[in-house]
């Protein structure tokens, strides 16, 4: 018993065969399965000779033009994010290579670890990035001007932080500073930062100056 003609016609079209050209001599034992998108097969769930149901997923196909970044964000940080926000992502293997992304979707549910997924689109996708690659991300939530010094310019002594201000040739003054956020080799100065503006500081050899100052004090 054959299925209704309209059902058979639809099935033939689904597998890429023209019903008007199907004859007894043109029927084959195999037919091509056409993907609705361009891409590459990332997972194969079947093998030759396996029976499948209409609801079974035979293959998973990745469209490289629509690969996105999925970030795990903790509950306490979700309110700091919004759609359209810029993200900088990078891999552990090549942290110097930065990828610009934009947040397009923020999850509405939390996992047992109190995290949700935040989905981002790459501004310019790199074909060398493979699906499943682990990536880190930096998200700028606020932008503020700050006075900063290189990390090497700040020394710690007796649970306090100091920097050396240049007073003249081979003359320095040690001043206490309040370090804030550290990023890319620089440290933000808090508290008395306004008093330190337009001053010249030692950026190399600060620790040597500290040791010299300490030894001088002990000799006296």
Can you give the pLDDT at residue 1? 42
CATH of domain 148-219: 2.40.420.20
- Give the list of residues 6+ apart from residue 131 with CB closer than 8 angstroms, or none: 42, 62, 67
CATH 2.40.30.170 residue spans of the chain: 64-139
Can you give the pLDDT at residue 214? 73
CATH 2.40.420.20 residue spans of the chain: 148-219
Top CATH class, 64-139: mainly beta
How would you label 170-206 residue by residue, b for 16+ Cβ within 10 Å and e otherwise? eebeeeebebeeeeeeebbbeeebeebeeeebbeeeb
List phi, psi (to 5°) of 60: -115, 130
Query: Cα–Cα distances in Å, from 10 out to 33, 65, 115, 156?
Result: 14, 30, 45, 77
Judge if pTM exceeds 0.95.
no
Split the chain (220 residues) into runs of 10 and give each run's mean pLDDT: 54 63 63 72 81 82 75 87 90 88 89 88 81 84 76 86 86 85 80 71 84 68
List phi, psi (to 5°) of 218: -70, -35
Yes or no: say if 199 and 149 are a contact pair by the CB < 8 Å rule: no
Residue 29 burial (10 A CB sphere; 0-12, 13-18, 19+): exposed
Q: What share of the chain is helix, strand, coil (3-state, %, to 5)?
A: 20, 35, 45
Can you give the pLDDT at residue 60? 78
Can you give the pLDDT at residue 211? 84
The Cα–Cα gap between 159 and 140 comes to 31
Can you give the pLDDT at residue 21? 65
């Amino acid at each position: 018993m054959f299925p209704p003609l309209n059902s058979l016609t639809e099935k033939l079209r689904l597998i890429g065969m023209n019903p008007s050209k199907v004859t007894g001599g043109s029927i084959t034992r195999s037919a091509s399965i056409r993907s609705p998108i361009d891409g590459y097969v990332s997972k194969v769930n079947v093998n030759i000779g396996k029976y499948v149901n209409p609801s079974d997923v035979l293959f998973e196909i990745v469209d490289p033009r629509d690969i996105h970044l999925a970030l795990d964000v903790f509950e306490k940080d979700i309110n700091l994010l919004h759609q359209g926000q810029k993200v900088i992502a990078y891999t552990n293997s090549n942290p110097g290579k930065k990828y610009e992304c934009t947040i397009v979707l923020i999850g509405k549910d939390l996992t047992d670890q109190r995290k949700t997924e935040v989905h981002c689109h790459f501004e310019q996708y790199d074909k060398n990035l493979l699906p499943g690659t682990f990536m880190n991300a930096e998200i700028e939530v606020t932008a503020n001007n700050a006075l900063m010094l290189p990390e090497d310019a700040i020394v710690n002594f007796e649970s306090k932080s100091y920097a050396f201000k240049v007073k003249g040739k081979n003359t320095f003054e040690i001043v206490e500073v309040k370090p804030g956020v550290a990023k890319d080799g620089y440290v933000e100065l808090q508290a008395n930062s306004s008093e330190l503006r337009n001053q010249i500081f030692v950026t190399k050899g600060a620790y040597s100056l500290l040791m010299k100052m300490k030894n001088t004090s002990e000799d006296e």
